[in-house]
Amino acid sequence: MLNVGQINEGFVLDHIKAGKSMTIYHDLGLDKLDSCVAIIKNARSNKLGKKDIIKVECPIDMLDLDILGFIDHSITINIIKDGEITSKKKLSLPKQITNVIRCHNPRCITSIEQELKQVFILTDPKKEIYRCKYCEEKYSGKR
Amino acid sequence: MRHLMSPLDFSVEELDRLLDLANDIEQNPGKYAHACDRKRIATLFYEPSTRTRLSFEAAMMNLGGKVLGFSSADSSSAAKGESVSDTIRMASCYADICAMRHPKEGAPLVASMASSIPVINAGDGGHQHPTQTLTDLLTIRSLKGRLNNLTIGLCGDLKFGRTVHSLIEALVRYAGVKFVLISPEELRVPDYIREEVLEKNKKEYKEVIRLEDALPKLDLLYMTRVQKERFFNEEDYVRMKDFYILDKAKMELASADMLVLHPLPRVNEISTEVDSDPRASYFKQVQYGVYVRMALILTLLEVEIC
């Protein structure tokens, strides 16, 4: 059993697909935080076989969980306060994401007006399709 | 305050009211001749357009209003690098309503987010052209007497042809409408129209390459031009532009009451010999375009005429 020190306030992101933790580390902006972050790769998991886990010690309103829902909504978030898990949160696909991904349509207005927010809207939750708010082009990049 | 970005911004009931108003304008133009006295429309056209711009301007003038604007990006402050948002903020100070055409998709939506006057999308790249759709719907309803139970052939550039996309999105809301999508393989309708519009609304459709195969069963044929400006590659354009030419011989395969519509301008996809055929309705469509834009201006400006 691997033991990583307990955190007092923050998150434990569990059930991350094995190998995805570093992507999430960067997408959540954890590299920019002056907080204690532990990344556990390839931990044993009954459900997934192997999984990654991230522990972050930070105030709980500091992270944009919508981004996480977009990257991988099967991740479980354990919210820690006073050293205890106070709640578990299941992620769902966010209805809208802002400034997470970019529209690659060369005909989109965002291609010439760089200061516009990059907004994508979930148009088909079943097929997990996001479209650019402006030109409605489907996002077909990597998540 | 309302804007018009997509033909789906109006519910079927609202659309019915708009088309009724357009028909009333057609029957009683004098009643509306001063409806927009002292009002102004700004036509902000960042790319060349003859028909749509003139249609908006004629519509506003028929209502007694005035027109200001520009007709290419070169003659606007966009050439100096001004953003769409700043341009519409400026135009909001000069006009009561705005019609915007822009080569970049989503530009009118960006304008509507910063505007204090109603913004009408007058065409944004290959994306939407809602007032053409309103024109098409008014033409079909006026000449066919209905918008339901029709078999509609759409022919030509179904990939980049924004009028086609907008028209399909509007027509799937009516019962019994079937589509025949006639295009070369390279210009097929985009997957999102197939999957998220036609299939999602359980609409019957088929895709064919030969126009002759489709013609006998159509109530309406909507021809489109292969648009040079939508191609990044000249070679692809040259290969596609003569793929379909509707002529007298092909018209003989069609039923006696099949309408031929075209958003215009045409290049050579409809031979001029078809113009005298009573089924050729594309010039009537232009006139309906003015009526429906008049109705739209009145609706968005919330002007009521008793």
On whether the CB atoms of residues B1 and B122 are closer than 8 A, the answer is no
pLDDT of residue B241: 79
Enumerate the domain spans of chain A: 10-90, 96-132
- The percentage of chain B sitting over the pLDDT mark of 90, rounded to a whole number, equals 78
Tell me how far CA of residue B160 lies from CA of A129, B225, B227, B232, in angstroms: 21, 10, 8, 12
> Which of B6, B8, B105, B124 is the mutation pick for testing A, counting most A CBs within 10 A?
B105
CB proximity list for B243: less than 8 A, separation 6 or greater: B156, B184, B187, B226
Please compute the mean of the pLDDT values over residues B94-104 and round it to a whole number: 96
Q: Please answer yes or no on whether B83 and A110 come within 8 Å at the CB atom.
A: no
Task: Report how far residue B177's alpha carbon sits from residue B154's, in angstroms, rounded to the nearest whole number.
Answer: 13
Tokens linked to B145: 């007497």
Mean pLDDT confidence for B288-297 = 98
pLDDT in tens, B143-169: 999 999 999 999 999 988 878 988 999
Q: Is B126 on the interface with A (CB under 8 A)?
A: yes
What's the pLDDT score for residue B13? 96
The ipTM, to two decimals, is: 0.85
For B42-51, the pLDDT digits (tens) are 999 999 888 9
Question: Which one of B83, B107, B127 has the shortest CB-CB distance to A136?
Answer: B127
- Give the C-alpha separation, B125 to B102, whole Å: 6
**If you search the block for the tokens 């060349």, which residue do you land on?**
B48
pLDDT in tens, A94-141: 999 998 889 999 999 999 998 999 999 998 888 889 999 999 998 976
Can you tell me whether residue B187 is helix, strand or coil? Answer: helix
Using a CB–CB cutoff of 8 Å, tell me whether A122 touches chain B: no
Per cent of chain B over pLDDT 70 is: 97
Please report the pLDDT score of residue B195 as a whole number. 86
Give the architecture (CATH level 2) of B130-286: 3-Layer(aba) Sandwich (3.40)
Please state whether the predicted TM-score (pTM) of the whole model is above 0.90.
Answer: no
Average pLDDT, chain B: 93
**Measured CA distances, B125 to B46, B81, B162 (Å):** 11, 19, 8
- Per-residue pLDDT band for A2 (boundaries 50, 70, 90) equals low
pLDDT attached to residue B295: 98
Among A22-26, B140-144, B210-214, B258-262, which is the least confidently predicted range? A22-26
Query: Residue range B216-220: average pLDDT?
Result: 97
Q: Which of A105, A127, A135 to mutate to test the interface with B (most CBs of B within 10 A)?
A: A135
Which chain B residues are closer than 8 Å to A122 by Cβ? Answer: none
Q: Is the pLDDT of residue A54 over 90?
A: yes
A102 in contact with chain B, both atoms CB, cutoff 8 A: no
Residues from chain A contacting residue B227 (CB–CB below 8 Å): none
Strands, E assignment, B74-134 = 97-102, 119-124
Residue ranges of chain B that CATH labels 3.40.50.1370: 33-128, 130-286
Which of residues B107 and A28 earns the better pLDDT score?
A: B107
CA distances from B296 to A57, B7, B65, B86, B111 (A): 56, 11, 14, 25, 18
- Chain A environment of B105 (Cβ under 8 Å): 105, 107-109, 134-137
Which of A109, A137, A138 has its CB closest to that of B107? A109
Which two tokens mark B275? 């113009």
A61 touches B at CB < 8 Å = no
Give the CA dihedral B65, B136, A108, B72, nearest 10 degrees. Answer: -40
CATH architecture for the domain at B33-128? 3-Layer(aba) Sandwich (3.40)
- pLDDT for B154 equals 97
Can you tell me the mean pLDDT for B276-293? 98
With beta carbons less than 8 A apart as the criterion, state whether B127 and A105 touch: no
Which of A3-7, A63-67, A113-117 has maximum average pLDDT?
A113-117
B76 touches chain A (CB under 8 A): no
Mean local confidence (pLDDT), A47-76: 84
Burial A106-128 (b: 16+ CB within 10 A, else e): ebbbbbbbeebebbbebeeeeee
| Cα distance between residue B81 and residue B94, in whole Å | 20
Chains A, B: CB contacts under 8 A, how many? 51
Where does A10-90 sit in CATH, by number? 3.30.70.140
B180 in contact with A at a CB cutoff of 8 Å? no
Closest among B26, B72, B38, B34 to B53, alpha carbons compared:
B72
Confidence of residue B65 (pLDDT cuts 50, 70, 90): very high
Least confidently predicted of A74-88, A110-124, B244-258, B291-305: A74-88
- B261 inside 8 A of chain A by CB: no
Please tell me the predicted confidence (pLDDT) of residue A3: 58
Establish whether the linkage from the previous residue to B265 is cis, with ω within 30° of 0.
Answer: yes
**How many angstroms separate the CA of residue B106 from the nearest CA in chain A?**
4
Backbone angles phi, psi at B297, to 5 degrees: -60, -45
Q: How far is CA B140 from CA A106, B183, B247, B252, in A?
A: 34, 22, 22, 21
Q: Find residues 189-248 of chain B whose CB sits inside 8 Å of chain A.
A: 191-192, 196
Chain A residues touching residue B102 (CB < 8 angstroms): 109
- First-to-final CA distance of chain A: 31
Collapsing DSSP states into helix, strand and coil, what is residue B243?
coil
pLDDT band at A142 (very low <50, low <70, confident <90, very high): low
Q: What does DSSP assign to residue B76?
A: S
Whether pLDDT at B306 is above 80 = no
